[in-house]
Amino acid sequence: MTIRIVPGGATLGARVEGLDLSHPLSAEVFEQLLQALGRHGVLSCPRQELSATQLRDFSANFGRLEVNVAGAYQEPGLPEVMVLSNIVENGKPLGLSDAGQDWHTDMSYNRMIAFTNVLYGIRIPHRDGQPLGNTEFCNMHAAHEALPDAWKRRLEGMTVLHDFDKFWEMMRRERGSTRPPLTPAQRAARPPVSHPLFLVHPITGRRVLYANPGYAIRINEMDEKESAEALEFLFAHQTRPEFRYAHRWEVGDVLMWDNMGTIHNAIPDYRPDEPRYIKRCQVMATRFFHDDGTPRAVADTALAGA
Residue 69 near residue 111 (C-beta atoms within 8 A): no
Nearest to 290 by CA among 169, 156, 126, 111: 111
Residues 6+ apart with CB under 8 A from 54: 21, 22
- Secondary element (H or E) of residue 83: strand 78-85
Q: What is the pLDDT of residue 306?
A: 40
Least confident of 173-187, 190-204, 286-300: 173-187
Query: Using CA atoms in the order 115, 134, 22, 66, what is the torsion angle rounded to 10 degrees?
Result: 30
Q: What is the pLDDT of residue 175?
A: 59
Residue 35 near residue 46 (C-beta atoms within 8 A): no
Confidence of residue 244 (pLDDT cuts 50, 70, 90): very high
**Which contacts (CB < 8 Å, 24+ apart) does range 250-253 have?**
250/46, 250/121, 250/124, 250/131, 251/121, 251/122, 251/123, 251/124, 252/46, 252/47, 252/48, 252/49, 252/121, 253/44, 253/45, 253/46, 253/48, 253/119, 253/120, 253/121, 253/124
The mean pLDDT value for 17-24 works out to: 97
Give yes or no for residue 294 having a pLDDT over 90: no
State the DSSP code for 94.
S
Give yes or no for residue 176 having a pLDDT over 90: no
Whole-number average pLDDT of the chain: 92
Nearest to 114 by CA among 46, 161, 68, 78: 68
Least confident of 34-43, 63-72, 280-289: 63-72
Please write the tens of the pLDDT for every residue from 69-95: 656 788 989 999 999 999 999 888 888
Nearest to 96 by CA among 119, 73, 75: 73
Q: What is the pLDDT of residue 97?
A: 78
Give yes or no for residue 148 having a pLDDT over 60: yes
pTM for the full predicted model: 0.91
Q: What is the pLDDT of residue 303?
A: 43
CATH of domain 8-301: 3.60.130.10
Give yes or no for residue 205 having a pLDDT over 60: yes
Cα–Cα distance measured from residue 300 to residue 225, given in angstroms and rounded to the nearest whole number: 41
- Secondary element (H or E) of residue 141: helix 140-145
